[in-house]
Amino acid sequence: MKWTLADVWGLLAFFLMMAGIAGLSWEVFREGGWGGQLMGATWHATLSKPMVMLPLLIGGYGMYLMSTRGRLTVGKGHPFSDAIVYVLMALGVYFIYRWLSH
């Protein structure tokens, strides 16, 4: 089988993205992880200061408008999908480094 540079880059990108998704999932869902801390802080803030919900509601409405008007479309060569891929690859490098250094 003949491997080209595009094949090797595709496999590397795939494994980095999978490592990024796995590391992000671990950090969000583990006990005392980011998800629990964020939900706890948000819940506490909304009970003590209801105006904290205003930026969340505005941001949610903005995401709804962008997704319904095609600004968050994902497809080949679209800047939003490229950004998602590169962010996941960077997270993959970060989590692989953390896993190997500990």
| DSSP state letter for 51 | G
In a domain, 14, yes or no: no
| Distance from C-alpha of 62 to C-alpha of 65, rounded to nearest angstrom | 5
Number of domains composing the chain:
2
Q: What is the pLDDT of residue 48?
A: 66
**How many other C-beta atoms can be found within 10 angstroms of the C-beta atom of residue 29?**
11
In a domain, 33, yes or no: no
Question: Going residue by residue through the chain (102 aa), what tens digit of pLDDT does each one get?
Answer: 677 888 888 888 889 999 998 988 888 777 777 777 777 766 666 666 677 677 777 888 887 887 777 666 656 666 777 788 888 899 999 999 998 997
In a domain, 62, yes or no: yes
Q: What is the pLDDT of residue 91?
A: 92
Instruction: Say whether both 67 and 85 belong to one domain.
Output: no
Structural contact between residues 51 and 58, judged by C-beta atoms closer than 8 angstroms:
no
Instruction: Say whether both 65 and 51 belong to one domain.
Output: yes
Instruction: Say whether both 62 and 80 belong to one domain.
Output: no
Instruction: Say whether both 66 and 79 belong to one domain.
Output: no
| Distance from C-alpha of 83 to C-alpha of 17, rounded to nearest angstrom | 12
In a domain, 59, yes or no: yes
Range of the domain at 85: 75-102
Q: What is the pLDDT of residue 96?
A: 93
In a domain, 92, yes or no: yes
Structural contact between residues 100 and 24, judged by C-beta atoms closer than 8 angstroms:
no
Q: What is the pLDDT of residue 54?
A: 75
Rounded to the nearest 10 degrees, how much is the dihedral formed by the CA atoms of 49, 53, 56, 57? -160
**Based on C-alpha coordinates, what's the Rg of the chain?**
18
